[in-house]
Amino acid sequence: MTAAELKKTILEGGIDAALTDGLSVSPDAVPAQRERYAKAADAFLAKYGDGDVSLYSVGGRSEISGNHTDHNHGRVIAASVNLDILAVAKPTDDGRIRIQSEGFPEDVVDASMADAPDEANFFTSAAIIAGMEKAFLNAGYKVGGFDAYTTSNVLKGSGISSSAAFEVMVGNILNYLYNDGKVSNVEIAKMSQYAENVYFGKPCGLMDQTACAVGGFITIDFADPTQPVIEKLGFDLTAAGYRLCIVNTGGNHANLNADYASVPAEMKAVAKELGVSVLRESSKEALDELLARHGKYLRTYLGDRAILRAYHFFAENERVAAQVDALRAGDIEGFKAGVTASGNSSFKFLQNVYTTINVEEQGLSLALCLTEDFLRGTGGVCRVHGGGFAGTIQAFVPADLTAAYREKMDAVFGAGACHILSVRKNGACRIL
């Protein structure tokens, strides 16, 4: 299919069913999405010329439950969302990958760049591309050159993982252009983690990549982080009458590295006192016993916050298991009870809703306060979203109240602060 034919197909409604079903785009948003996809076809043609093109999509993700549990080998629930990165791509025969992402300089990656990681390329998208090539080769799959134009509405800095979506997209294109789509999305997620850890130079877990790649609600058990257990959960949030809302409260993310790092460090310090390397290898009962015998020492040596964070981990891990059971059973009330409990535990025990560096700025606290007030008596629930300390909250809002909720949040945090999302059915995919 040529780029011109692709554009014509898009504008004539040829991808409408894929948008509304697999990608969970609401019917009223389809016309705008048609224009967005058609514009990408035009941009590809202008940049790379015509050829045998294909169309791809990868959604962003939202962490649903399991706040700060993965780094201590806990359990999480995550979901793919209907904000996506889309790509128009064609194969080339020179072995070179060229990707023009809207609003960014073009990345050009020669095959030789995949030979070994280069610290000079750390934290660049070119490094991710090279890392994905290497991961495919390591797994015995084929790679080759391609030209691609990408555009994304996955929100940067809002806990929806734009970087993971990009990694998965590179794997998605290599999968269909050179491997007949035979590489599973779970395997692509693991390759994406490898690319980010080894070639991009950033240690990361597997939750973000897996949620983007697999689609829908998923649960991941990191008891063995080298072989995490991933399960897709067949739950339809929209059918249950709720929409997922993410509110970006803004705030200054500078100088929060110490806050983020303190959470796994303090949890692992408690784990060490329990005689293990991570909290997943111990239990709440063991901590109860240790605290009863050596409470004064633990409080002095570790600090109360570390102990509280350990208790959060144990409760949150059990909470995830209960929420997974609720989602399997279609029990929306049981699931929502877990959302509320997770949020309360994060605020009181994990303590990642604001930073002690600047206590005057508490955007997350304010957003949670306003949201709880708005949702009181409606059945809606909310919690901090992702790493915390600044950034976003998550709310599950009754569908008929989402417009009013967005108006309330935007009035306080600025136009466009509230994003009404759907849980996307499909993961990484080729549309045409």
- Ranges of the chain whose pLDDT falls below 70: 155-161, 252-254
Can you tell me whether residue 246 is helix, strand or coil? strand
pLDDT for the residue 365: 97
Helix axes 125-138 and 185-194, enclosed angle (nearest 10): 120
Can you tell me whether residue 147 is helix, strand or coil? strand
Distance of CA 321 to the CA centre of its chain: 20
Can you tell me whether residue 193 is helix, strand or coil? helix
What are the residue ranges of helices labelled H in 376-429? 402-413
Please tell me the number of Cα atoms within 13 Å of 339 on its side-chain side.
26
Residue 399 to residue 332: CA distance in whole angstroms: 14
Residue pair 77/320 in contact (Cβ under 8 Å)? The answer is: yes
pLDDT for the residue 156: 62
Tokens representing 344?
A: 């309360």
What are the residue ranges of helices labelled H in 148-242? 162-178, 185-194, 207-214
Q: What are phi and psi of 364, to 5 degrees?
A: -65, -45
pLDDT for the residue 157: 53
Residue 106 to residue 114: CA distance in whole angstroms: 18
Place of tokens 């973000």: 208
Residue pair 139/103 in contact (Cβ under 8 Å)? The answer is: no
Containing H/E element for 293?
Answer: helix 284-301
pLDDT for the residue 197: 86
Domains of the chain, start order: 3-234+425-430 (3.30.230.10), 242-421 (3.30.70.890)
Which residues on adjacent β-strands are paired with residue 89?
54, 148
